[in-house]
Amino acid sequence: YVAFPQARKASLASFLEKRKQRAMNA
Amino acid sequence: ASTADPTKTHHHMISSTSSQLFNQETLQQRLQQLIEGARESWTYAIFWQSSYDYSGASLLGWGDGYYKGDADKAKSKLKTASAAEQEHRKKVLRELNSLISGSASAPDDAVDEEVTDTEWFFLVSMTQSFFVNSGGLPGQAFFSNSPVWVCGPERLANSGCERARQGHVFGLQTMVCIPSANGVVELGSTEVIAQSSDLMNKVRFLFNFN
């Protein structure tokens, strides 16, 4: 994952953050 | 054109004519706006951005994506995943999570939630890119400059597109690719959604930045 490109990193961060929110709201 | 930076770019993606026009934050907002405001229930939206490989061949790669999930979570739940597969998904998610938040951060409970089929399909999409002339749905939409709307399990399974076939395996019932300036907007849903010009107009409005 070292070379995980910037655009994907940003997408991934937002995916994980929203996933956390969904888990808390469940 | 942007300059290549091997530390930041994916293997064969060396240039992107449109990267300066698209700022990640606005892409994310536009994708979110597109499906959160829709009457239909879309599971995710992805923007595939056009670029070129070393030989000059046209290529679509990850631009950004917004995962909404399903109102009825049972729909996206583990139709295909065995216990071992679920463990694998969680392991990958834990690794990705420490990549993002740093390995020193506290363990995150949300990471240990089940990784649904559609979440996994979305995550795997981040690693994919398509040649425009390879016959897949995103390439087809971009190449012909016209939308491709595939709905119903049989049509997805038999569309001749590997991505659509995969989508079907992971529980999608509708996949749509709509061309825009510099790329393609793809939407997927676990429900059967009939074609609407409303959605296509919305994509044209939100994604034709030029």
d(CA B152, CA B155): 6
Residues of A with CB below 8 A from B100's CB? 9, 12-13, 16
Residues of A with CB below 8 A from B126's CB? 8, 11-12
Q: Do B108 and A20 touch (CB under 8 A)?
A: yes
Q: Which of A16, A20, A24 to mutate to test the interface with B (most CBs of B within 10 A)?
A: A16
Question: What's residue B6's pLDDT?
Answer: 40
One DSSP character per residue, chain B reads: -PPP-TTTS-TT--B-TTTTT--HHHHHHHHHHHHHT-SS--SEEEEEEEEE-TT--EEEEEEEEEE---SSGGGGS-SS--HHHHHHHHHHHHHHHHHHH-TTSPP-GGGGS---HHHHHHHHHTT-EEETTS--HHHHHHHHTS-EEEESHHHHHTSS-HHHHHHHHTT--EEEEEEETTEEEEEEESS-----HHHHHHHHHHH---
Quote the distance between the C-alpha of residue B80 and its chain's center: 20
Q: Do A15 and B122 touch (CB under 8 A)?
A: yes
Residues of A with CB below 8 A from B108's CB? 20
* Angstroms from B57 CA to nearest CA on chain A: 20
Contact B147, B176 (CB under 8 A): yes
Residues of B with CB below 8 A from A1's CB? 95-96, 99
Please list the pLDDT of chain B residue by residue as tens digits (210 residues): 344 444 444 433 433 444 444 566 789 999 999 999 888 999 999 999 998 888 888 899 999 999 999 876 655 555 566 888 999 999 999 988 888 887 655 566 666 788 999 999 999 999 888 888 877 899 999 999 999 999 998 999 998 899 999 999 999 999 999 999 889 999 999 999 999 999 999 998 899 864
Q: Do B62 and A7 touch (CB under 8 A)?
A: yes
Question: What's residue B108's pLDDT?
Answer: 64
